[in-house]
Amino acid sequence: MKTNFLKIFTVIALVAFSSCKDKAKEAETTEAEDAAVAEASAVTYKAIADESTIEWKGFKPTGTHTGTISIAEGSVSVNDGNIESGSFAIDMNSITVTDIPVEKEGNAKLTGHLKSADFFDVEAYPKAKFEVTGLETVDGKTMLSGNLTMKETTNNISIPVTTSMDGDMMKLTSETFTIDRSKWNVKYGSKSFFDDLGDSFINDDIELKVNLVAKKA
C-alpha cells in the first residue's frame, strides 16, 4: 500500500512540476494607468469579431485545461505602423473548452463552472476590457501595455506583440503570456485566498495568447 501511494504521489508531483516548468512568463502587472491618446493623423482599424480570439490555458496539479474566448468588438489607432491607442471588449460569455470533446458531459460542466460566480461570473460581468496605455521596444521586443479589467478590477499589463499590415487589414498577435487571476479577484480554488485546499487547489496562473484581426475603418 505504501509503495502504491508513493507511486501515485510521484506521478502527481511530476505532472505539477512539468506544468509549472512549461508556463509562459508572467506579464508585468502594475496599477492602472491613463489610456493612450492617438494623434489626429492616426488610422483606425476595427476588430473583426469572428476572427479575433484569445486562447487560454489553466493549470492544476493533475493537468491542464485549454479553451478560447472571443473578442467582441474594439478598435486600434495606428500611425506609421505603430499602435498609438485602442481598446477592445472581451465577451466572457463566449468562453469555450477545447481539451474536452464538446459532446462529453465534462465539457459543458467545466464551461458552466468557468462562467459561474466561482470564476468569472459572466452574468454579472459579461465583458472584460483591454485599453491600450502605451507601446515601447524592450530588448528588441515590442511591448504593448494596457489596462485589463475583469470583474470590475483593473490592472495594467505589458505583453510582447507582433503586428502586420496587409492592405486594409491589420493583425496583432501576442506571445503566450501568463496572468495571475488572483489579482483580478478570481478566487475559486486559489491558495492566495484559501489555506485549507490541500491538493485540491487550482493554480492562479492562466496562460493567454491574443489574436486580433482588424480592418481599416
Q: How far apart are CA 173 and CA 52, in angstroms?
A: 10
* Domain, as residue range, for 196: 2-216
pTM score > 0.75 for this model? yes
pLDDT for position 17: 39
DSSP letter at 186? -
The overall average pLDDT reported for the chain is 89
Total count of domains within the chain:
1
- In percent, the amount of the chain with pLDDT more than 70 equals 87
Name the least confident of 3-7, 67-71, 166-170, 188-192.
3-7
Provide the pLDDT confidence category of residue 195 given band limits of 50, 70 and 90. confident
3-state secondary structure 42-104: CEEEEECHHHCEEEEEEEECCEEEEEEEEEEEEEEEEECCEEEEEEEEEEEEEEEECCCCCCC
CATH of the domain at 207: 2.40.128.110
Average pLDDT over residues 15-41: 79
Query: What CA–CA distance (Å, rounded) separates 171 from 80?
Result: 15
Q: Are 69 and 95 in contact (CB under 8 A)?
A: yes
Better-scored residue on pLDDT, 187 or 197:
187
Strand partners, 149: 129, 154
Locate 86 and state its grid cell. Answer: 485602442
Query: Is residue 23 predicted with pLDDT exceeding 90?
Result: no
What distances in angstroms separate CA 214 from CA 37, 62, 73, 200, one per listed residue? 19, 38, 10, 41
Express each pLDDT in 138-192 by its tens digit: 999 999 999 999 999 999 999 999 999 999 999 999 999 999 999 999 998 888 8
